Structure 1
Amino acid sequence: MSLHKRTIGDPSPRTATGAAQGGTAPDEPQDPAARRHAGRVLALSSLGAFVVFLDTTIVNVAFETIGSSFHTTIGHLSWVLNIYSLVFAAALIPAGRLADRYGRKRVFLIGMTGFGLMSALCGLAPSATVLIIARGLQGAFAALTIPTSLALILPEFPPSRRPAAIGTWGTMAAAAAAVGPTLGALLIEYASWRWIFLVNVPICALVLIVGLRLLRETREQGARGIPDPLGAVLIAVIPAALSLGIVEGPSWGWTSPRVIAAFVVAVVLLPAFVWRTRTAVRPVMDLALFNVPQFRLVNAASLVFGLAFFAVLLSNFIFLQTEWHYSVLIAALACLPNPILTTITARPATRMVHTYGHKVVFLAGAVLFAVAQGALALALSTHAHVAALWLPVMAVTGISLGLNLPTLSVASTKPLAPAQFAVGSAINQSFRQLGAVLGVSLFAAIVGTPGAGTALTAFHNAYWLFGALGLLSGLIICLPQLRRTTTPTQTA
Structure 2
Amino acid sequence: MTTDAPTPARSRSAILAIASGAGFLAFLDTTIVNTTFPDIAASFPEAGRSELSWILDAYFIVIAALLVPAGLLADRVGRKRAFLVGVVLFGVTSLLCAIAPTWETLVAARVLQGVAAAIIAPVSLALVLPEFPREERATAVGIWGAAAALAAACGPPLGGLLVEVADWRWIFLVNLPVTALLVVLGARVLRESRDEHASGRPDLLGAAIAVVGLGALALALVEGREWGWTGAESAASFAIATVALAVVVRRCLTHPVPVIDPALMRIRSFRLGSIGTLLVATAFFSVILGNILFLTQIWGYSVLDAGLGTVPGPLATVVVSGPAGRLADRFGHRAVIVPGCLVYVAALLVLGSAPAEPDYVGHWLPGMVLNGIAIGLVFPTFGAAAVADVPADRFGAASAINGAFRQFGAVIGTALLVAVVGEPAPADALDAAHRGYLVAIVAVLLAAGVALLLRRVPAPATPQPRGSTANAMTA
> TM-score normalised to the size of structure 1?
0.89
Q: CA RMSD in A?
A: 2.0
CA shift, 1:346, in A, is: 1.0
CA shift, 1:119, in A, is: 0.6
1:415 aligns to 2:386 (yes or no): no
Alignment partner of 1:213: what SS?
helix
Match of 1:210?
185
Aligned partners of 1:292 and 1:61: how far apart in 2?
38
Match of 2:218?
243
| Paired residues for 1:328-477 under 5 Å | 328-377=303-352, 379-477=353-451
Contact persistence 2:60–2:410 (CA under 8 A): yes
Alignment partner of 1:58: what SS?
helix
CA shift, 1:23, in A, is: 4.1
Alignment partner of 2:128: what SS?
helix
Contact persistence 1:24–1:155 (CA under 8 A): no
| Paired residues for 1:81-100 under 5 Å | 81-100=56-75
Contact persistence 1:112–1:141 (CA under 8 A): yes
Name structure 2 gaps, 5 residues minimum: 457-461, 464-475
Contact persistence 1:345–1:399 (CA under 8 A): yes
1:24 aligns to 2:8 (yes or no): no
- Percent of aligned positions with the same letter in both sequences? 43
Post-superposition CA distance 1:275-323 (Å, at most 9, x none): 1111113222211101111111111111111011100111011111011
Q: Which amino acid aligns with 1:21?
A: T
Contact persistence 2:277–2:406 (CA under 8 A): yes
Q: Bigger CA drift: 96-105 or 150-159?
A: 150-159
Match of 1:263?
238
Q: Which amino acid aligns with 2:426?
A: A
Q: Which amino acid aligns with 1:168?
A: I
Aligned length: 458
Match of 1:188?
163
CA shift, 1:160, in A, is: 4.5
Aligned partners of 2:94 and 2:48: how far apart in 1?
22
| Paired residues for 1:162-201 under 5 Å | 162-201=137-176
CA shift, 1:413, in A, is: 1.6
CA shift, 1:201, in A, is: 0.7
Q: Bigger CA drift: 308-317 or 412-421?
A: 412-421
Match of 1:290?
265
Aligned partners of 1:194 and 1:132: how far apart in 2?
13
CA shift, 1:229, in A, is: 2.1
Q: Which amino acid aligns with 1:271?
A: A
- Runs (4+) off by over 6 Å: none
Aligned partners of 2:134 and 2:351: how far apart in 1?
44
Aligned partners of 1:275 and 1:212: how far apart in 2?
40
Q: 2:52 aligns with which of 43, 54, 77?
A: 77
Post-superposition CA distance 1:196-250 (Å, at most 9, x none): 1111111001111121122221110122342112211222222211110000111
Name structure 1 gaps, 5 residues minimum: 1-19, 483-489
Aligned partners of 1:99 and 1:445: how far apart in 2?
37
CA shift, 1:355, in A, is: 2.1
Aligned partners of 1:52 and 1:23: how far apart in 2?
30
CA shift, 1:481, in A, is: 6.6
Q: Bigger CA drift: 75-84 or 461-470?
A: 461-470
Aligned partners of 1:163 and 1:391: how far apart in 2?
29
Aligned partners of 2:262 and 2:455: how far apart in 1?
17
Aligned partners of 2:455 and 2:331: how far apart in 1?
17
Aligned partners of 1:364 and 1:97: how far apart in 2?
35
Alignment partner of 1:186: what SS?
helix
Q: Which amino acid aligns with 2:399?
A: S
CA shift, 1:479, in A, is: 2.4
Q: 2:124 aligns with which of 145, 149, 152?
A: 149
Q: Bigger CA drift: 221-230 or 344-353?
A: 221-230
Aligned partners of 2:11 and 2:454: how far apart in 1?
41
Aligned partners of 1:369 and 1:129: how far apart in 2?
36
Q: 1:56 aligns with which of 12, 25, 30?
A: 30
Aligned partners of 2:133 and 2:96: how far apart in 1?
40
Match of 1:16?
none
Contact persistence 1:309–1:470 (CA under 8 A): no
Aligned partners of 1:457 and 1:375: how far apart in 2?
14
CA shift, 1:460, in A, is: 1.2
Q: Bigger CA drift: 379-388 or 445-454?
A: 379-388
Distance change >3 Å, CA 472–CA 407, structure 1 → 2: same
Aligned partners of 1:204 and 1:64: how far apart in 2?
26
